[in-house]
Amino acid sequence: MIRLEHIAKSFGGTPVLEDISLDLAPGTSLAVLGRSGTGKSVLAQITLGLLAPDAGRVLVEGAPLTRRTHRAFMARTGVLFQGAALFDSLTIWENVAFRLLNGPNRRSRSTAREAALEALARVDLAPRVADLHPADLSGGMQKRAGLARAIMGAPEFLVFDEPNSGLDPVTAREIDALIRTLVSDLGATAMTITHDMAGVRAIADTVMLLDEGRVRWQGPVAKIDTAEDGLLSRFLAR
C-alpha cells in the first residue's frame, strides 16, 4: 500500500499541488489524468521520493518514505520515464539490466545479460535488439525497452510517466495492452501519468483527474462515462 496524505508543492511561490491525498492499494492500477501543467508528473516524482513535498507525506506500507528508506523502496519499484530515458552510450541490454550492473546487489555481466534477454522477450523484443543502441530503435521499440528495464526484478510498484507520448495510435495501443499484461502478471501496484483517454481505459482500474493542482474527480474507470464533470467529458470527447 502506498498512501499520499495532504501533499502540497509549489515552485517559485506558485502552487502546483494542493492537498492531494490518495491510496494505491496492492495490485491496483491508477491513472492520473489532467491537462498539461496540472502537476501530474510532479505527483509521480513525489510518490517516488524523487521530489520532497512542501507539506504532507508519502507512506509505504504504513511507514513514512524518508531518505533512509528511499533506496529500499526504489529497489522494489520500476519506472518508465517519459521518452523512455535510455542511456545513449549503453546497449539495450545494458540499459535494461542497469540496476543489476550497478546496484548494491550487482550481478555478473553474463547473468545480467541473461536476465535482460528474458525481460526483452516479455515485451516482445527479439534477442538481436539486445546489442543495439537506443538510436537504432524506433520510438515504440524504445518504449518497450524502457518497459523491460522497469520490470527487471519483478517490482511490486510501477510508475509510468506518459507511456504513449510521441507514439502513433497503433503503437500506443500496443504499449497500453503490454502495460496491462505486465501489471497483471506481476501483481504490481501501478500509477500511470497520462492525458490519453484510450490509454486510461486500457490500463487503469481507477482514475484521478487533476485540475489546478487539486483532485477534481476520482473513481472507477467503469464510471467515467457517466461522471458529471465538464472537464472529464471534454477528455472523453477527444
Structure confidence by residue, pLDDT tens digits, 81-95: 877 789 999 999 999
List of domains in the chain: 1-76+159-238 (3.40.50.300), 88-154 (no CATH)
- Can you tell me which residue has the cell 507511456? 163
pTM as predicted:
0.88
- Is 90 exceeded by the pLDDT of residue 145? yes
Output the nine-digit C-alpha cell for 210.
487533476
- Of the pLDDT bands very low, low, confident and very high (cuts 50, 70, 90), residue 238 is low
Confidence band, pLDDT 50/70/90 cuts, at residue 166: confident
Strand segments, DSSP code E, in the chain are 2-11, 14-24, 29-33, 55-60, 63-64, 77-80, 157-161, 189-194, 206-211, 214-220
pLDDT tens digit string along 8-43? 999 998 999 999 999 988 889 999 998 888 889 899
